[in-house]
Structure 1
Amino acid sequence: MTDVEETTATLPLARKCPFSPPPEYETLREESPISRVGLPSGQTAWALTRLEDIREMLSSPHFSSDRRNPSFPLLVARPVRSEDDSFRPSLIGMDPPEHSQARRDVVGEFTVKRMKALQPRIQQIVDEHIDALLAGPKPADLVQALSLPVPSLVICELLGVPYADHDFFQSCSSRMLNREVSPEERQTAFEGLRNYLDDLVTKKEANATEDDLLGRQILKQRESGEADHGELVGLAFLLLIAGHETTANMISLGTVTLLENPDQLAKIKADPDKTLAAIEELLRVFTIAESATSRFATADVEIGGTLIRAGEGVIGLSNAGNHDPAGFENPDTFDIERGARHHVAFGFGVHQCLGQNLARLELQIVFDTLFRRVPGIRIAVPVDELPFKHDSTIYGLHALPVTW
């Protein structure tokens, strides 16, 4: 990493308003759209704030996603490495051509056709949890009653992970994503979840079936003669965490936002065909997994008129890009009829989120069902008292008290 004498800011920056990006992003985009920033890891990196520059960087073959490389920019303190460092990187940490093959192997699990086949079961899961919500006491915590269990159960059934173990893997992922947790505790959580999934994949290899994604991948590997236990563990690790953490937080944030914008919510209630457009706008507004667009340069390359040298880290501040007025008219206005799907909330380029079709489907079913079946739902405390996840690398809510 090239040393610099001066940085414009130190990341991560705090959101002053829970529904908006940090105000410093606008200043950076206007005054220094590609600038040097400090990181908690002790590194410096380039920060990109314009949508065009972020998309250019993410589509360039000259930037690496390999998180094992010391040049990779981290928004948390660099983790402590255990003596056993044999864990294979997941898709999110691979580069082509390794990434290209690994993604091809599993992309068929997330096609629109496959998601349509899952729709009845997801609807059943949502209905069962709303049944329990309505039968329980008021107020209720929507995070525990709906937001967290629905995507957790869906991804468990898809992967073949026992949902009975959800308290364990949710605790591990929460500690891994918490910026205020020590590197040692984060590493302990990482190793605990890795070992759990290592054992699970081993058991599935002894009795693989077509009933779940991991079983199908095992059988596919055997058929091709290219069995790779470590790759399957890495895949399970990525999909289990990403498959419940991101969607769970978007359910909570989306519910709050729609309740706080009754005119926009009324449009969805009157015409459910607008729900998907509302989801795209919610994804753009919050951009909850901002650090997913971090990279480091593998060659000297120019982005937006700035030379980035090989070995230098780059963070695409996608929340800044998704509020770039050059890409979105009146970007700070929540407008479900904006119709803009060119946001980078799911990333861009070869690493664009594998599970985005599943996320959209779950969000659509949850919002349509929740507001239809619980039309009087409202937040049970003032919004400024809600515990937003300012301490996490994935933004969201720790709890959402609601009544009806």
Structure 2
Amino acid sequence: MESARIIAVLARMLRDVGQAEELAQDAMVLALERWPDSGVPEQPAAWLTTVAKNRALDALRRRQLHQQKESELSYEIDLQLQDAAPDLDAAVADALENDIGDDLLRLVFVACHPVLSTDGRVALTLRMLGGLSTDEIARAFLVPEKTVAQRIVRAKRTLAEAQVPFEAPRAHELGERLASVLQVIYLIYNEGYAASAGADWMRPALCEEALRLGRVLAGLQPQESEVHGLVALMEIQSSRARARLGPQGEPILLLDQDRSRWDQLLIRRGLAALARAEQMALDGLGPYALQAAIAACHARARRGEDTDWQRIAALYDALAQLSPSPIVELNRAVALSMAYGPQAGLELVDSLLDAPALKNYHLLPSVRGDLLAKLGRHTEARIEFERAAALTNNERERQLLQARASGVNPPKATRALP
């Protein structure tokens, strides 16, 4: 949980992401060695950070030794690190002050440097700062795990070779990195909202951290419509958290949720952020604000049957034109089915069956199974739900899909057949 924050602090000191990651891991290894005997300290995060900072200062001293003669080194170390021993935090802050004010968000901006490809920026940041595994990132991008691993290695090497300064970009430089930063925050939130693997359907800590970063970013870039759009989306989605899980942690789907458990404060905050996004969107809403507008349709409906599905379908039409992707089309198919009937949705889903990006995407057969069940094609629906269950890596979701497969009843005429 503390790894990303420690890496962010060390990267500011060392200006080397790879070395920062290694020293953070060293501090954690030391904790594993000492804490069983000495006990866990009252403030374990502070202990880890202090140990990691001490090792970073040692690394800085060694680096200086390699660069300068010993006679010159003493003066430089005294000048740059004179306050390190009594007050490490003050020394680091004095030397590396910047205008963002949040270590983690600062390092997200650094890792999203223009010298890297867009894919490389996002993969590196999600791995080190978002806490996502290489496999989880691969599923988010719908690409092989090996591809993501290569992107991360290349990104680290490129930053080192280019000697990228590990400092926050100035105000006029933020814009060129903003799209990648928004994408990182969005993908971190998505992994928290619907975990791609593991025993839990949600990872609340990821959602909370993404929402915190989004709020900080909104204060930093208050004039950007899409920043407010992303914050609105996360606020509204987060409002459903308590209603999305049953007593045993089992998933509860949107239309089955008890809407009285939705957090009205988060909904109001989300709608206010959406209103700000709409006011600033002089050329029309961007993709995050459009998704927030879709979420707002659900938030405004007191009951599932009150949902304005035709408006949601229209918003997905706009999103598909602005940011086309197979996943957007799959979501649009669901909206079409709710607005105009399951056959309309199934036709669009069937057109996606050969999309390479969705070949192993479990939600494609899941959606198709749901539409087939509504059309009374029960045998086909069961096959689709079973296929979806086999594709997902999330235990809770697998159980849900298996239950849906078992619950699909064939027509009465076929029950008597041997």
Q: TM-score range by the shorter chain?
A: under 0.3
More strand by share: 1
Q: Which has the larger radius of gyration?
A: 2
More helix by share: 2
TM-score, normalised with respect to structure 1: 0.25
TM-score, normalised with respect to structure 2: 0.24
Give the structure, 1 or 2, with the largest relative contact order (CA under 8 Å, sep 6 or more).
1
